[in-house]
Amino acid sequence: MRLRFEAFDGRSYFDVAITDLDTGSEVGRITNGGQRMTVPRRLSQGGITVSLFEGRYRARVHSRNEAKGFVSGVEAVLNHIAEETT
């Protein structure tokens, strides 16, 4: 299993597919509500939601790097489990 997603700008609204490169199938989504300014002029993170395998693995992160870390962690754990069962 090799999970990948396209680069995104965390400051805007978006919805990005997470794809398993081995099967070519979509296994999850990353969505963002964007950032917004709050009083007194501080940037508030809208939050990025990562959902894999029909919501079985979910996380709320604040950056692309955190999203990549979560996706990579799930990938590593599932690959480890698959190795143990074969």
Give the C-alpha separation, 86 to 35, whole Å: 44
Give the C-alpha separation, 9 to 74, whole Å: 22
pLDDT at 17: 97
Q: 5-32, pLDDT tens digit by residue?
A: 999 877 778 899 999 999 999 999 999 8
pLDDT at 66: 94
Q: 30-76, pLDDT tens digit by residue?
A: 998 765 545 555 555 568 999 999 999 999 998 899 999 999 999 99
Q: Where are the domains of the chain?
A: 3-85
